[in-house]
Amino acid sequence: MNIRLTMKMTFLLGTLAVTLVALPGAARAQDLAKEALSGFPTQTIRLEFSSPAKLRGLPNYGTLRQRYIGPRLRKLVDELGQLGIREEDISGFVLGWQPGSAEMALYGFAIGRFSAQAITESAEQRNMTSTPVAGKPAYCLEAGLAGTCVVVLQDSLGAFGSLTALTSMLEARDGLLPSLSSDKRFPSLVAGADKDAPIWGVAVGPAVADWFRGWMPNQGNLKLDWSKVFADVNSLTYSVAAGDNVTLGLKMDCKSSESAASLRQVLEGLKLVQQIAWDSQNPGKPNPYQTMNVGLESNQVSLKLTTGYSELELASGAAGTAN
């Protein structure tokens, strides 16, 4: 996920998760991470935790929200009005992605301050019928197998995704299917993530290239095959901290020290291209890519980029299409 993609998903799914859950404010990132490891199917190639409750405390929240919700996400927010959603009640959520035919399928778990009874009553008032999923009622916000549906698991927890994704999640959660915890990579990656950040995540396989494709969409006249660039990257761990500025931190574990050194060279080249493109498009404005730092240690490449909110607004014209 990229800064734009991760922030977009935070604002949208913060809204979505309100309808799903009711949990006291003491819920922690570790709780949802454990829920994801025990409930996400093994096809998952990316996992992300977000805390919109922390982000809402920022004075720039309104600007960020407007900046990072794309057409697909706005459509879903509108559809969630069917269940009487209030954005401000969400506490946190964890998202999962797996490969899809056209775009990566999205699903997850969420916590907040809504009750299962309130959600059921809201659905009944709108004459929404439920669809059984693993013995639990699911309320679908749009027709079709790919449409987003929600399931209330208990007053403190809910799940969302397509009917197919929800079925896999609930069966994995009940021990009927292997869960993500059986993949040795994810428990280790989650354990090493920066859980103090309001947004953090991990990705493996093709999800690494997909994340970068959205984060750095404009390379001027340079066209890159992201799949080839990150072919030798085993995993990505990332975090986004939002305060006075937005700081992105990445760690990529490569197959060898040689492949890590090669990746660092590519990223340093991209940094230069982005600097030139920024200066051309925003003359006289602070260039965030000048402070972009790319590090190398053995088979691990790290990256850190701190961006001001005004620079994020200027970058909107170069933004790609988010999932």
Count the helices and strands in the chain (H runs, E runs).
12, 12
Q: At 282, give phi and psi (nearest 5°).
A: -135, 65
Reduced to 3 states (helix: H, G, I; strand: E, B; else coil), residue 119 is helix
Average pLDDT over residues 120-134: 88
Average pLDDT over residues 201-211: 93
116's CB contacts (< 8 A; 6+ apart) are: 22, 152, 154, 155
Question: Residue 40 CB: number of other CB atoms within 10 A?
Answer: 30
Torsion angle, alpha carbons of 60, 63, 66, 69, to 10:
-50
On the question of pLDDT at 319 being above 60, the answer is no
**pLDDT band, very low/low/confident/very high, at 15 (cuts 50, 70, 90):** very low
Average pLDDT over residues 133-149: 83
Average pLDDT over residues 243-263: 93
Q: What is the pLDDT of residue 22?
A: 39
For 128, which DSSP code? P
Q: Between 9 and 179, name the one with better pLDDT.
A: 179
Average pLDDT over residues 74-87: 63
Average pLDDT over residues 176-185: 95
Long-range contacts of 72-78 (CB under 8 A, 24+ apart): 72/322, 72/323, 73/8, 73/9, 73/11, 73/12, 73/322, 76/12, 76/16, 76/141, 76/148, 77/12, 77/15, 77/16
Q: Between 240 and 217, name the one with better pLDDT.
A: 240
Q: What is the pLDDT of residue 216?
A: 64
Percent of the chain at pLDDT > 90 equals 33
On the question of pLDDT at 323 being above 60, the answer is no
Q: What is the pLDDT of residue 188?
A: 95
Q: What is the pLDDT of residue 160?
A: 87
- How far is residue 114's CA from residue 19's CA, in Å, rounded to a whole number? 7
Average pLDDT over residues 89-97: 81
Question: Which amino acid belongs to residue 181?
Answer: S
Q: What is the pLDDT of residue 203?
A: 96
Pairing state between β 199-204 and 46-50: antiparallel
Average pLDDT over residues 248-261: 96
Domain extent listing, the chain: 3-182, 205-318
